[in-house]
Amino acid sequence: MASTFGHLFRITTWGESHGGGVGVVVDGCPPRLKLSAADIQPDLDRRRPGQSKIVTPRKESDTVHIVSGISENGLTLGTPISMWVRNEDQRSEAYNEMKDKFRPSHADFTYFAKYGIRAWQGGGRASARETVGRVAAGAIAKKILREKFGVEVLAYVKQVQKIIGAVNPETVKLKEVESNIVRCPDAQAAAKMIRLIEKMRAEGNTVGGIIEGVAHGVPAGWGEPVFDKLEADLAKAMLSLPACKGFESGDGFGGILLTGREHNDLIRAKAGKVFTTTNRSGGIQGGISNGETVSFRTAFKPVATVMHEQDTVDESFHNTTLKGRGRHDPCVLPRAVPMVEAMTALVLVDHALRQRAQCG
């Protein structure tokens, strides 16, 4: 069940980094939505390797094929939409040494411990390549949210190691995010981030950082008590992404330095519309959206593959060392931005449908 996500808008991803490809089945999509590859490819291109000098140079066109679920005149049928992306640039030889050595802080050892077997080429299912299916499905979710519910989902790089961008989550636009290759809307910070990532690559080292996600236009009332709170489902969605190690909603960890009097978002009404004068809650109270901008932050650890010899063990549990080879990202954040957007949109569209189901 672990490769399926969502209750009403439900996706099932499949595929390894090496093998026939990766894909996703989207079930529960509302019918009669205009949909073609052109709606999906742009987000895949934002996730694609080789898109800029600061990501892995691995060459994958990542062209999406929609294999089912669309009528001859380009409308969703309401039945499962199957999408498939071929694996193209596989160089197993780069992974030969990993055949019987576990890469530190990768999932090699844990998959082996769990299953007694692992796809050693490229990380198998733990590879970020698995997220192709999520991003493709997320593009559909974003389209539904935009067209049917007036909701715009967006993510951007907020921080790379110690470099922090100044971004206003209430007003940030896609155009600003896409204005540079690191996807940080603060141009000055972006320039520094890019330099840092290039330096890291040159040193065979890696860095992590923070991606902020926002959703503009979410109406009050999405999210379900008590276990499927909006922020609970967002947290799960984010922590299910490769390399993600932290999630905070609204003020999150920072909020604990304030007292209750300081932290509360006071409520006002104007012309019959309720709003809060601050948004420390990140648009969610009691697990349900309150009509303000939904915002959260996620921590992505530095990429585990470094081009330096590191201590590890082999499959016979003997001590050895391993040095990263192959073509890797010195920082996952630029490519993780569309992944964060996709997972956000998948959570939101599912809750939009759930709200419509129960409350009409």
Rule CB under 8 A: which of 235-264 touch a second copy?
A: 235-240, 242, 245-253, 255-264
Number of residues that bind a second copy (CB under 8 A): 158
**In whole angstroms, how close is the CB of 171 to a second copy at the nearest point?**
23
Asked if residue 52 binds a second copy (CB under 8 A), the reply is: no
Question: Which range of residues in 48-56, 166-174, 177-185, 314-322 is near a second copy by CB under 8 A?
Answer: 314-322
Smallest distance from a second copy to CB 160, Å? 8
3-state class of 239 per DSSP? helix
Please give the structure tokens belonging to residue 15. 């595929």
Query: What single DSSP character describes residue 75?
Result: B
Among 79, 100, 146, 178, binds a second copy (CB under 8 A): 79
* Spatial separation of the C-alpha atoms in residues 217 and 291, rounded to whole Å: 7
Residue 214 is a binding residue for a second copy (CB under 8 A): no
Query: In angstroms, what CA-CA distances link 259 with 153, 253, 264, 278?
Result: 31, 13, 9, 15
Contact string (CB under 8 A) for a second copy, positions 174-213, x = contact: --------------------------x----xxxxxx---
Nearer residue to a second copy within complex by CB, 68 or 179: 68
Nearer to a second copy, 28 or 174 (CB): 28
The residues, ordered by sequence, that sit 6+ positions from 144 with a Cβ below 8 Å of its Cβ are 9, 29, 30, 33, 349, 352
C-alpha distances in angstroms, 124 versus 31, 91, 318?
Answer: 34, 13, 23
Tell me whether residue 181 or residue 239 sits nearer to a second copy (CB atom): 239
Closest CA to 312 of 99, 103, 96, 100: 103
Q: Please spell the DSSP secondary structure of 170-227, one letter per residue.
A: TT--HHHHTTSTT--S-HHHHHHHHHHHHHHHHTT----EEEEEEEESPPTT-S-SSS
Q: Closest distance between a second copy and the C-beta of residue 3, in Å?
A: 5
Q: Which of 56, 180, 285, 344 binds a second copy (CB under 8 A)?
A: 285
- Minimum gap (Å) between residue 50 Cβ and a second copy: 21
Q: Least distance to a second copy from the beta carbon of 237, Å? A: 8
Choose, by CB under 8 A, the member of 41, 299, 326, 327 that binds a second copy.
299
Tokens of 99: 């055949």
**Residue range at the interface with a second copy (CB under 8 A); choices 28-36, 46-54, 56-64, 181-189:** 28-36
Output DSSP code: residue 286. Answer: T
The interface with a second copy within residues 105-164 (CB under 8 A) comprises 105-107, 109-111, 113-119, 121, 124-126, 130, 159, 161-162
Residues sharing a CB contact under 8 Å with residue 241, sequence separation 6 or more, in sequence order: 131, 298, 300, 336, 339, 340, 343
Q: Which of 34, 67, 187, 188 binds a second copy (CB under 8 A)?
A: 67
Encoding tokens for residue 313? 């063990």
Least distance from C-beta 98 to a second copy, angstroms? 13
The closest of 100, 91, 126 to 325, measured between CA atoms, is: 91
- Joined together, the tokens standing for residue 97 give 């040494």
The torsion of the CA quartet 68, 74, 75, 78, rounded to 10 degrees, works out to 0
Kindly state the smallest distance separating residue 282's Cβ from a second copy, in Å: 8
CB 190, min distance to a second copy, A: 17
Return the H-helix or E-strand segment holding 115: helix 108-115
Give the residue, chosen from 180, 293, 295, 312, that forms a contact with a second copy under the rule CB under 8 A: 312
Select the residue interacting with a second copy from 41, 61, 63, 276 (CB under 8 A): 276
The least distance separating a second copy from the CB of residue 303, rounded to whole angstroms, comes to: 5
Cβ at position 287, least distance to a second copy in Å:
7
Nearest one of 167, 158, 154, 168 to 193, comparing CA atoms: 158
- Cβ distance to a second copy smaller for residue 124 or 213: 124
